[in-house]
Chain A
């Protein structure tokens, strides 16, 4: 099954004359992609055919895509890292992972090269590789279903990100489901909105070649802020993102029909409100809209719902689109506390460093993953109702609030820090935090925000920091998170 999947993935690179990559006037065919993939393959694998863990540190350029396919097709392990990540966090990830190769296209933080010797990691410039002439054909490997294909990182409550390996079997089951469910046609044009390190990227990286489609990535901040222009100029036919991106378009263009070519809308990663669904139908005029639900630890997506116009009335009281029903190959259990447990071929073999083993439980011989998400069944579909812990989700990123608090409390003069989420207009969420200083002053702490930006990825830096004299406590003397959230729910940006 795995070999057949990779043969299908390889086929367009060998035979198709269609455009594989398009960024405004920059276009590359599948043939051009294959030529560069062979050059990268030569560099990565000519001397050492052992399986390697290879970090790709780069944006959405044509060579980076080629590197990803080269790594996966030559049965190595791909580790996407988004450029701009704070150096300390990056180094903590490298120490956990022990990669063999660090392939970079953008300027790398100081420390990577220095520590490369210590962890025996080869640092290679992708720009240099792309200029080489030597190339090597791909041999079909004997992919083992349970070998790792990629590793993604998620936020961890100790302040160190958690590494989540995904096997070939884990993610291919999701892709096969997507190929079966979505009414793809040959030559679709896929948007690529989110970072590679956000696992929604798996969807378009693999579905695009399998439909002989074109990838049209969003690369600049301006394009991310105003995606409609990108959608129209590139004639996007398959859109995938978190629903907030559609909410951004809706805020800018609340009324009227918007010209676009999207046929398939794949939304996931956060609650999908009915007002966004209505907008998809009435203003964007999209025929096929889907809500997917899943976790990095369980192979990208595990549930799906094919929306219909009737959903607007059917789920009116809920206010949201359901996450629907499980994808093939996924089994579910709902505990008495309504926590969703997942089992089946998409569950990760476990976190790097064997941490948090308590999240995995064997019940009657089957291995189950505790998602931490609360679900509720309504008629024949499920709704996700929130978390059982302090994890939050913002724009599809799962964030452990304690991961941020650990770092804030390391800043000189801070005694206590509590992070929380404030809900903005149209359901858009923002991260905020309340800090108490050691001298209990409620004055501004200069430099805290900039310091955090040097420790955490941008999406984890609170957008607003409140200073309070003393944290409110509950009857047990514990800090009252709810009271703090309520204290700042009005007037917080």
Chain B
């Protein structure tokens, strides 16, 4: 179960994006349209990082919806 607060979530997401896509400071406005390295291969890396770091299981139906920073944060908050 994921129980961190909003600030912790922001920091954790920033770290994942920095390490997966070389993005120093990801913002809530970022998505697959703004991050060029976020392609199909990058997406699978991102999903597996999220699954490991947050100890969650993401279904295929959700994997295809998590295409923006906001949608990822909302998804994780829903797992709290």
A residues lining the B interface (CB < 8 Å): 221-222, 224-226, 229, 248, 251-253, 424, 428, 430, 449, 453, 458, 461, 463-464, 493
Are A226's CB and B64's CB within 8 A? yes
- Kindly state whether residue B36 has any CB partner on chain A within 8 Å: yes
- In the bound assembly, the distance between CA atoms of A428 and B77 in angstroms comes to 32
Q: How many A-B residue pairs have CB under 8 A?
A: 36
Are A458's CB and B36's CB within 8 A? yes
Are A229's CB and B64's CB within 8 A? yes
Give 14 A-B pairs besides A225-B67, A428-B41, A430-B41 with Cβ atoms closer than 8 angstroms.
A221-B33, A222-B67, A225-B39, A225-B64, A226-B40, A226-B64, A251-B44, A252-B60, A252-B63, A252-B64, A424-B41, A449-B22, A458-B36, A493-B20
Q: B24-47 CB contact bits vs A (8 Å, 1 = yes)? A: 000000001100110111111100
Q: How large is the interface on B (under 10, 10 to 19, 20 to 34, 35 or more residues)?
A: 10 to 19
Q: Which residues of A contact B37 (CB under 8 A)?
A: 463
Q: Which residues of B contact A449 (CB under 8 A)?
A: 22
Are A221's CB and B32's CB within 8 A? yes
Contacts A251-B44, A493-B45 given; does A461 touch B36 at CB 8 Å: yes
Give, as a whole number of angstroms, the nearest-CB distance from B23 to chain A. Answer: 10
Are A225's CB and B36's CB within 8 A? no
Q: Which residues of B contact A424 (CB under 8 A)?
A: 41
- In the bound assembly, the distance between CA atoms of A453 and B36 in angstroms comes to 9
Q: Which residues of B contact A464 (CB under 8 A)?
A: 22
Are A248's CB and B36's CB within 8 A? no
Which one of B20, B22, B40, B45 contacts A225 once the chains associate, using CB atoms below 8 Å?
A: B40
Contacting residues of chain B (48-75) with chain A, CB-CB under 8 angstroms: 60, 63-64, 67
- Ranked nearest first, the 4 interchain pairs of A and B with the lowest CB-CB distance are A248-B40, A226-B64, A225-B40, A252-B60
Q: Give me 11 A-to-B residue pairs in the complex whose CB atoms sit less than 8 angstroms apart, sorted by A's number.
A: A221-B33, A222-B32, A225-B43, A248-B41, A248-B44, A251-B44, A252-B63, A252-B64, A461-B36, A463-B37, A464-B22
- In the bound assembly, the distance between CA atoms of A463 and B42 in angstroms comes to 10
- In the bound assembly, the distance between CA atoms of A464 and B22 in angstroms comes to 9
Q: Which residues of A contact B36 (CB under 8 A)?
A: 453, 458, 461
**Closest B residue, CB atoms, query A253:** B60
Q: Which residues of A contact B64 (CB under 8 A)?
A: 225-226, 229, 252
- In the bound assembly, the distance between CA atoms of A464 and B43 in angstroms comes to 15
- In the bound assembly, the distance between CA atoms of A251 and B47 in angstroms comes to 11
Q: Which residues of B contact A225 (CB under 8 A)?
A: 32, 39-40, 43, 64, 67
Which one of B22, B40, B60 contacts A224 once the chains associate, using CB atoms below 8 Å?
A: B40
